[in-house]
């Protein structure tokens, strides 16, 4: 195994020496290695090693020597002071709290950088000449220093500086120190260790590793290759220790986890763990606690409620089932809202009777307890109330069951304590302010379950300091990512950052720091693999120059490192030729189901036979679907023939152009009064609905102006309902409108406000068959005597009526568009160019009948017509599981084969 020099560390610790590690992570790693070596030696008990991380070492040493009673600020307290200073600026007094908080965080970072790299800039006179943002920060820094002096406070960033003076003035003997896991020693650290006395850095082994640098096709293959290699190493030697280095762990964590899970047999213990935790707010029990606390006094969004009712931390399983049913009921009745206040949810007429009684009692009782408290209290008093409120509400995290629960609860308590500590300056806050702080504290706490000492450790480059292994795999060694670059700090002048060598202030500094990490990795294991993806998304990438200098030019991945294709993974395909015929004879869901059958047989099966449903999220106003429905209602009202509606082209042209908009307004007004859902009316200001009304009047007037230009026609039916038989299946149809054209033929019209294209009807596999179905099967029951039989030339047509501002037109197929729709149509108009023909009609008829037969026979394979577009607008991905890598890979492959075939 590679080393921090394990034997030297062991010898030092056994003699009672102190090891200072660069970070908490490094100290835990060194301690774990120490204990493992003792176990290998067969020892059953040994003294705890004296290993301490840099921050703890400095704080403890300062506390031992400080007797003036000043309060050492924690991060939350320091941020609160910076935020107060910033918000007291006249020109920032109206800034939103979140913006002030962000600036406060950046000011605290800038202060920390000064303390670490350039302490002399803490003197106000050394900052003369700083202007703009740096000038503003300089003033805040002066106020911050003043506030700390006046109130007896000290920032953690200043502690090393004070400690240096105390060490210089004291002459007590101190234990010797050895440093481990430091990729670089900052000026202040060096000064402090020198003031301390006896210190040294453990020398690292100089034996360099065997190095390979791989060029891999894309990021997914790179991850798969690394995961596959790691699992094979562990299979060959279960005692092996592997270290995977990845950059930007927070963002790519999910992808890495999926790649490693791919090679973990189901039910087996995970062989990998991440060094970095995830924010406490992403742990379900902590997140549910925060949501419950918020719901007691403020609304939750619909998605938050969905999430809350899907976790098991706030209710019993039977209660959760009832709450989920309540959400479904609201949506089915089109009662969804973007946000739900607790009281409104509990009292909603559609669900209140079926809500679980016990749960309602608990949550109401918690809400009442909160209401009874004074509006402003100290953070400590609020903190005392958190657990009782959660217990009253029935939050199940109050009674941890497993070790994981205990660990989460400990971190949750830490978050509450942090916010309670904000009472240090005697402030009083509202519940809402307290809760906001609690959410921030939980977001900043990174939770990682206690290490199970997995053989594969996944860490970032800097966090890997102190870790050793038998082999290392460094992912993402491309030119852009390594050396790691980042912006300079906006609150410090650039020349200052360069002068003092602050992080990312020059490419040279980035290079030197990354170089130090790379060299450390090379001596931390006998075998080191670097890899990079030559294609990242749509961009080609090049190998890291730093790694190329050390490891030589990258080579393509050797065959034995190539991960197996997804098809050959542990899942395998079973040809399921069994089908379960549809016995009802009546198709629930109408004609849309036959379109779904064409788009993807499984989609039709899941919707019509399993009752699967996707739904639109609630919007803070009318949803596109509701807007479309209002437009349909207005046009229906106009062409219904019932007064004040009209029926024919003659009726329409009899209305003067000046009166047309007044005529439309009457219909729009009636529809808006009767058809706008009550919850939208309650939520939105009257002006919103007035604007919607004006928009509709303008849109419909424009549409009627288009209809004026048509060849005379009569509207024969609007919103006509009928039931037709298609290949033995009875299907309910509803036609938006059917016009009788002047040659006696019929035109089927479907109103559309979105972008639609008649190409969707194109054979051999249409995306949409609704209008062909209406035209070929739906007209018979309307007027059987006039139904045009097949065999002769096609007549009439089927069109989308595109009702869109500036784009009103018919789009579709008409047998003779110039003589029946508009004589002015140009020769290049698609209505004229692509005529409706009898051949096309009979091909559609055959195809639709075949679809109906397939549906009845139970044909239900997952076979999207145009992957991935068909799936993107489907919403059933969680049911058919097409998103899973092996399924996705299969369809992506099919698509690329199809592409190649059509381009050969």
Residues 373, 376, 379, 380: is their CA dihedral positive or negative? Answer: negative
Contacts of 130 (CB under 8 A, 6+ apart): 137, 138, 493
Q: Three-state DSSP class for 213? A: strand
Instruction: Determine the straight-line distance between the first and last CA of the chain, rounded to whole angstroms.
Output: 53
Among 602, 639, 663, 855, binds ligand SF4 (CB under 6 A): 602
| Residue 705 CA, distance from chain mean position | 45
Query: Could you say whether residue 813 binds ligand SF4 (CB under 6 A)?
Result: no
- Nearest approach in angstroms of CB 303 to ligand SF4 is 20
Which among 41, 74, 69 has a CA at the least distance from the CA of 55? 74
CA dist., res. 84 & res. 100, Å (int) = 9
Q: Of 152-160, 186-194, 346-354, 597-605, which part binds ligand SF4 (CB under 6 A)? A: 597-605
Between 524 and 870, name the residue whose CB sits nearer to ligand SF4: 870
Q: What is the DSSP string of 684-725?
A: S-HHHHHHHHHHHHHHHHHHHHHHHTSPPEEEEEEEEEEEEE
- Nearest approach in angstroms of CB 851 to ligand SF4 is 15
Between 501 and 589, name the residue whose CB sits nearer to ligand SF4: 589
| 164 prior amide bond cis, ω within 30 | no
Between 39 and 614, name the residue whose CB sits nearer to ligand SF4: 614
Between 281 and 870, name the residue whose CB sits nearer to ligand SF4: 870
Between 749 and 871, name the residue whose CB sits nearer to ligand SF4: 871
CA angle 322, 327, 333 (to 5 degrees): 120
Among 27, 464, 524, 870, binds ligand SF4 (CB under 6 A): 870
Q: Of 280-288, 526-534, 595-603, 655-663, which part binds ligand SF4 (CB under 6 A)? A: 595-603
Query: Could you say whether residue 871 binds ligand SF4 (CB under 6 A)?
Result: yes
Query: Could you say whether residue 859 binds ligand SF4 (CB under 6 A)?
Result: no
Please compute Rg for the chain using Cα positions. 35
* 279: β partners: 446
Between 36 and 865, name the residue whose CB sits nearer to ligand SF4: 865
Among 49, 299, 379, 864, binds ligand SF4 (CB under 6 A): 864
- Nearest approach in angstroms of CB 597 to ligand SF4 is 11
With the CA atoms of 699, 700, 701 and 707 taken in that order, what torsion angle do they form, in degrees rounded to the nearest 10?
Answer: 120
For residue 124, the 8-state DSSP code is G
Between 390 and 862, name the residue whose CB sits nearer to ligand SF4: 862
- Nearest approach in angstroms of CB 898 to ligand SF4 is 16
- Nearest approach in angstroms of CB 897 to ligand SF4 is 18
CA angle 133, 138, 143 (to 5 degrees): 125
Between 365 and 878, name the residue whose CB sits nearer to ligand SF4: 878
Query: Could you say whether residue 862 binds ligand SF4 (CB under 6 A)?
Result: yes
Q: Which phi and psi (to 5°) does residue 661 adopt?
A: -70, -35
CA dist., res. 576 & res. 861, Å (int) = 9
Applying CB under 6 A, what is the total number of residues that bind ligand SF4?
Answer: 13
CA dist., res. 822 & res. 600, Å (int) = 37
- Nearest approach in angstroms of CB 613 to ligand SF4 is 12
CA dist., res. 260 & res. 242, Å (int) = 13
Asked whether the beta carbons of 743 and 795 are under 8 A apart, the reply is yes
Helices assigned H by DSSP within 215-277: 219-236, 249-262
Which among 59, 50, 47 has a CA at the least distance from the CA of 20? 50
Task: Give, in order, the Cα–Cα distances in Å from 285 to each of 308, 325, 339, 436, 442.
Answer: 10, 22, 22, 18, 12
Between 519 and 888, name the residue whose CB sits nearer to ligand SF4: 888
Q: Of 192-200, 644-652, 787-795, 874-882, which part binds ligand SF4 (CB under 6 A)? A: 874-882
- Nearest approach in angstroms of CB 863 to ligand SF4 is 7
Tokens 């005379």 belong to residue: 712
Residues 25, 31, 32, 37: is their CA dihedral positive or negative? Answer: positive
- Nearest approach in angstroms of CB 259 to ligand SF4 is 23
Q: Of 418-426, 695-703, 824-832, 867-875, which part binds ligand SF4 (CB under 6 A)? A: 867-875
- Nearest approach in angstroms of CB 885 to ligand SF4 is 15
Task: Give, in order, the Cα–Cα distances in Å from 22 to each of 201, 202, 291, 467, 522.
Answer: 11, 12, 37, 12, 19
Query: Could you say whether residue 607 binds ligand SF4 (CB under 6 A)?
Result: no
- Nearest approach in angstroms of CB 159 to ligand SF4 is 56
- Nearest approach in angstroms of CB 578 to ligand SF4 is 19
Around 219, how many Cα atoms within 13 Å sit in the side-chain half-sphere? Answer: 14
Q: Of 13-21, 527-535, 758-766, 868-876, which part binds ligand SF4 (CB under 6 A)? A: 868-876
- Nearest approach in angstroms of CB 686 to ligand SF4 is 40
Instruction: Tell me, residue by residue from 631 to 650, as one string, x for binding to ligand SF4 by CB under 6 A and - for no binding.
Output: --------------------
Q: Of 511-519, 561-569, 598-606, 829-837, which part binds ligand SF4 (CB under 6 A)? A: 598-606
Asked whether the beta carbons of 315 and 356 are under 8 A apart, the reply is yes
Query: Could you say whether residue 745 binds ligand SF4 (CB under 6 A)?
Result: no
Between 518 and 595, name the residue whose CB sits nearer to ligand SF4: 595
CA dist., res. 54 & res. 116, Å (int) = 13
Show contacts with ligand SF4 in window 520-579 (CB under 6 A).
Answer: none
| Residue 75 CA, distance from chain mean position | 28
Query: Could you say whether residue 880 binds ligand SF4 (CB under 6 A)?
Result: yes
Which among 772, 642, 657, 643 has a CA at the least distance from the CA of 704? 657
Helices assigned H by DSSP within 487-600: 494-499, 507-522, 545-551, 592-599
Between 313 and 598, name the residue whose CB sits nearer to ligand SF4: 598
Q: Of 135-143, 600-608, 728-736, 837-845, which part binds ligand SF4 (CB under 6 A)? A: 600-608
Between 421 and 599, name the residue whose CB sits nearer to ligand SF4: 599
Which among 395, 305, 311, 393 has a CA at the least distance from the CA of 351? 305
- Nearest approach in angstroms of CB 874 to ligand SF4 is 3
CA dist., res. 764 & res. 844, Å (int) = 9
- Nearest approach in angstroms of CB 291 to ligand SF4 is 29
- Nearest approach in angstroms of CB 873 to ligand SF4 is 8
| 483 prior amide bond cis, ω within 30 | yes
Among 337, 603, 667, 737, binds ligand SF4 (CB under 6 A): 603
Query: Could you say whether residue 595 binds ligand SF4 (CB under 6 A)?
Result: no
Between 619 and 892, name the residue whose CB sits nearer to ligand SF4: 892
Asked whether the beta carbons of 541 and 533 are under 8 A apart, the reply is yes
Which among 397, 393, 496 has a CA at the least distance from the CA of 117? 496
Query: Could you say whether residue 300 binds ligand SF4 (CB under 6 A)?
Result: no
- Nearest approach in angstroms of CB 561 to ligand SF4 is 33
Query: Could you say whether residue 600 binds ligand SF4 (CB under 6 A)?
Result: yes
- Nearest approach in angstroms of CB 596 to ligand SF4 is 8
How many other C-beta atoms are found inside a 10 Å radius of the C-beta of residue 343? 11
Q: Of 209-217, 230-238, 518-526, 594-602, which part binds ligand SF4 (CB under 6 A)? A: 594-602
CA dist., res. 446 & res. 276, Å (int) = 7
Query: Could you say whether residue 877 binds ligand SF4 (CB under 6 A)?
Result: yes
- Nearest approach in angstroms of CB 314 to ligand SF4 is 31
Binding site for ligand SF4 (CB under 6 A): 599-600, 602-603, 862, 864, 870-871, 874, 876-877, 880, 882
């Amino acid at each position: 195994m590679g080393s921090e020099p394990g034997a030297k560390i062991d010898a030092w610790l056994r003699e009672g020496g102190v090891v200072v590690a660069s970070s908490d992570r490094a100290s835990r790693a060194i301690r774990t290695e120490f204990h493992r070596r003792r176990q290998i030696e067969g020892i059953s008990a040994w003294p705890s090693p004296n290993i301490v991380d840099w921050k703890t070492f400095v704080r403890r040493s300062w506390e031992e020597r400080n007797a003036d009673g000043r309060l050492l600020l924690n991060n939350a307290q320091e941020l609160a002071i910076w935020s107060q200073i910033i918000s007291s600026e006249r020109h920032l007094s109206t800034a939103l709290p979140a913006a002030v908080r962000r600036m406060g965080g950046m000011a605290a970072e800038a202060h920390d950088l000064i303390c670490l790299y350039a302490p002399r800039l803490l003197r106000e006179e050394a900052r003369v000449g700083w202007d703009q943002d740096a000038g503003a920060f300089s003033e805040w820094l002066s106020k911050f220093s003043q506030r700390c002096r006046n109130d007896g406070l000290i920032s953690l960033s200043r502690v090393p500086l004070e400690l240096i003076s105390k060490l210089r003035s004291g002459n007590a003997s101190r234990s010797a120190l050895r440093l481990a896991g430091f990729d670089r020693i900052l000026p202040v650290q060096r000064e402090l260790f020198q003031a301390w006395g006896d210190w040294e850095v453990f020398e690292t082994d100089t034996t360099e590793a065997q190095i390979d640098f791989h060029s891999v096709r894309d990021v997914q293959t790179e991850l798969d290759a690394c995961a596959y290699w790691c699992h094979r190493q562990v299979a060959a030697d279960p005692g092996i220790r592997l270290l995977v280095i990845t950059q930007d762990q927070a963002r790519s964590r999910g992808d890495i986890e999926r790649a490693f899970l791919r090679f973990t047999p189901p039910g087996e213990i995970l062989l990998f763990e991440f060094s970095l935790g995830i924010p406490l707010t992403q742990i379900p029990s902590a997140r549910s606690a925060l949501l419950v606390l918020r719901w007691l006094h403020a609304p939750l969004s619909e998605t938050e409620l969905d999430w809350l009712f899907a976790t098991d931390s706030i209710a019993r399983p039977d209660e959760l089932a009832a709450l989920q049913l309540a959400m479904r009921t609201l949506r089915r009745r089109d009662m969804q809202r973007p946000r739900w206040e607790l009281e409104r949810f509990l009292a909603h007429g559609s669900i209140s009777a079926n809500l679980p009684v016990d749960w309602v009692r608990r949550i109401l009782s918690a809400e009442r307890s909160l209401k009874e408290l004074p509006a402003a209290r100290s953070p400590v008093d609020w903190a005392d109330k958190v657990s009782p409120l959660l217990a009253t509400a029935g939050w199940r995290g109050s009674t941890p069951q497993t070790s994981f629960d205990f660990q989460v609860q400990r971190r949750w308590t830490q978050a509450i304590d942090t916010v309670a500590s904000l009472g240090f300056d005697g402030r009083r806050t509202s519940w809402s302010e307290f809760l906001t702080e609690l959410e921030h504290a939980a977001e900043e706490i990174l939770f990682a379950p206690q290490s199970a000492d997995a053989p594969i450790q996944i860490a970032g480059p800097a966090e890997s300091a102190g870790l050793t292994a038998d082999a290392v795999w460094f992912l993402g060694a491309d030119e852009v990512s390594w050396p790691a670059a980042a912006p300079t700090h906006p609150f410090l002048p650039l020349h200052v950052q360069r002068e003092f060598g602050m992080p990312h202030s020059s490419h040279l500094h980035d290079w030197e720091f990354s170089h130090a990490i790379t060299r450390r990795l090379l001596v931390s294991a006998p075998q080191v693999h670097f890899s990079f993806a030559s294609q990242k998304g749509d961009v080609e990438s090049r190998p890291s120059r730093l790694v190329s200098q050390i490891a030589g030019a990258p080579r393509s991945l050797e065959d034995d490192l190539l991960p197996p294709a997804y098809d050959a993974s542990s899942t395998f395909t079973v040809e399921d030729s069994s089908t379960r015929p549809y016995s009802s004879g009546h198709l629930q869901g109408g004609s849309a189901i036959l379109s779904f059958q064409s788009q993807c047989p499984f989609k039709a099966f899941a919707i019509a036979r399993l009752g699967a449903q996707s739904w639109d999220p609630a919007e803070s106003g009318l949803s596109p679907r509701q807007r479309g429905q209002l437009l349909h209602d207005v046009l229906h009202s106009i062409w219904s023939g019932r007064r004040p509606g009209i029926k024919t082209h003659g009726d329409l042209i009899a209305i003067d152009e000046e009166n047309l908009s007044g005529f439309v307004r009457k219909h729009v007004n009636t529809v808006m009064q009767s058809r706008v859902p009550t919850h939208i009316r309650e939520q939105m200001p009257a002006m919103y609905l007035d604007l919607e009304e004006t928009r509709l009047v303008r849109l419909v007037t424009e549409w009627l102006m288009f209809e004026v230009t048509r060849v005379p026609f009569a509207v024969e039916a609007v919103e006509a309902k009928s039931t037709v038989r298609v290949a033995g299946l009875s299907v309910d149809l509803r036609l938006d409108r059917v016009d009788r054209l002047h040659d006696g033929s019929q035109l089927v019209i479907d109103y559309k406000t979105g972008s639609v294209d008649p190409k969707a009807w194109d054979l051999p596999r249409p995306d949409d068959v609704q209008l062909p179905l209406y035209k070929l099967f739906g007209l018979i029951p309307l007027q059987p005597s006039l139904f045009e039989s097949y065999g002769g030339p096609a007549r009439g047509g089927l069109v989308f009526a595109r009702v869109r501002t500036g784009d009103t037109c018919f789009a579709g197929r008409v047998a003779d568009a110039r003589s029946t729709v508009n004589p002015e149509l140009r020769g290049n108009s698609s209505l004229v160019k692509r005529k409706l023909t009898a051949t096309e009609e009979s091909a559609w008829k055959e195809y639709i009948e075949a679809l109906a037969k397939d549906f009845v026979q139970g044909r239900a394979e997952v076979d999207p017509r145009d992957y991935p577009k068909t799936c993107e607008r489907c919403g059933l991905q969680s049911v058919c599981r097409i998103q899973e890598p092996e399924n996705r890979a299969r369809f992506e492959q099919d698509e690329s084969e199809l592409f190649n075939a059509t381009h050969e």
